[in-house]
Amino acid sequence: MNLGTTQRYYLQTMGVDVFVARNSAKDIKTIKSPEERQITVSSVPDTDDNQVIWNDLRKQVAVCTRCVLHEGRTQTVFGVGDTHADWMIIGEAPGAEEDRQGEPFVGRAGKLLNSMLYAIGLRREQVYIANILKCRPPNNRDPRPEEVACCEPYLKQQIALINPKIILAVGRIAAQNLLKVDTPIGQMRGRRYEYPEPRVPVVVTYHPAYLLRSPREKRKSWQDLQLAMRIYRESK
C-alpha cells in the first residue's frame, strides 16, 4: 500500500494501524502535522455587517423554548468557529460535555473530530461546527422529528450566513435530517449530495463517536474526507 504523508498522519492521529515496509518506519515518526506543514486555508477579514444578524440569532437560540428540550438543558450549544469558513461540519446534538461547556464536539468524539479535520489540513478554528439540535436530548437519545423541526430554522440561518463551500455531515442523524432522506448512512457515504438553499455540496461520513466504537471504519471515513477535499478543491 502506498500511503501519502497526509494519509499516514491521519491514520496515525486516528490510531489506525499503518502497515509499511521496514525502511519507511522512520518516515512515519517524522511526519509533520498539517499545522507544521503550514497548510493554510484562506480566511476573509471580518468586516461583516452580518455580525448583527449573528448576534441576534445567538440571542434567540440562547432563550429558545420552542421544544421540550429547553427544560433539561444547562445551556444551548449554538455553534463555534469561523463564520466565514469554507467548511461547515454538522453533527447531531450536544452531549453531556457540550451541554456543560456550551460548545459542540468538546468531548471524546470532538477530539477525534479535531484529528479528522487536522488530517486534511484544517484546524478546528478554521471551520464552523454546528449541530442539528442546539439542546441536549435527555440521556443522549435520538432527536425527535418535532425537535428537529423546531431547531431547523436556526441551522438554516447559520448555513445561509456562512454560505460554506462544503458541508461535512457527521453521522446518520445529521445526514438524514440535513438532506431529508432516510437512507442508511452506509449508503450515503462516498457520494456527493447537495444542500438545497443555499446550494452547498454535502459529504456524509460516520460520526466520530461511532468511529470510537468501531475503529475499523476509520478507513472509510478517511475516504470520505478525501472525497470532501476533492469536491472542495473543485469548487474553488
Residues 118-137 that bind ligand URA (CB under 6 A): 131
Please report whether residue 91 would count as binding ligand URA according to CB under 6 A. Answer: yes
Sheet strands (E) in 127-165? 128-131
* Per CB under 6 A, 104 contacts ligand URA: yes
Q: Which of residues 161-220 bind ligand URA (CB under 6 A)?
A: 171, 209
- Other CB atoms within 10 A of residue 16 CB: 18
Does residue 98 interact with ligand URA by CB under 6 A?
yes
Residues 44-73 that bind ligand URA (CB under 6 A): none
**Binding ligand URA by CB under 6 A: which of 82, 86, 92, 224?**
92
Query: In 28-124, which ranges are E strands?
Result: 80-81, 87-91
Q: Are 192 and 222 in contact (CB under 8 A)?
A: no
* Min separation Cβ 54 and ligand URA, Å: 19
Cα 140 to Cα 42, 192, 223, distances in angstroms: 36, 29, 28
* Smallest separation, CB 133 to ligand URA (Å): 9
Grid coordinates belonging to 119: 488530517
- Residue 79 touches ligand URA, criterion: CB under 6 A: no
The footprint of ligand URA on residues 24-43 (CB under 6 A) is none
Q: Which residues contact 104 (CB under 8 A, 6 or more apart)?
A: 77, 79, 80, 91, 94, 98, 110, 129, 130, 131
Residue 82 within binding range of ligand URA, rule CB under 6 A: no
Task: Kindly list the residues in this chain that would bind ligand URA in the complex (CB under 6 A).
Answer: 91-95, 98, 104-105, 109, 131, 171, 209
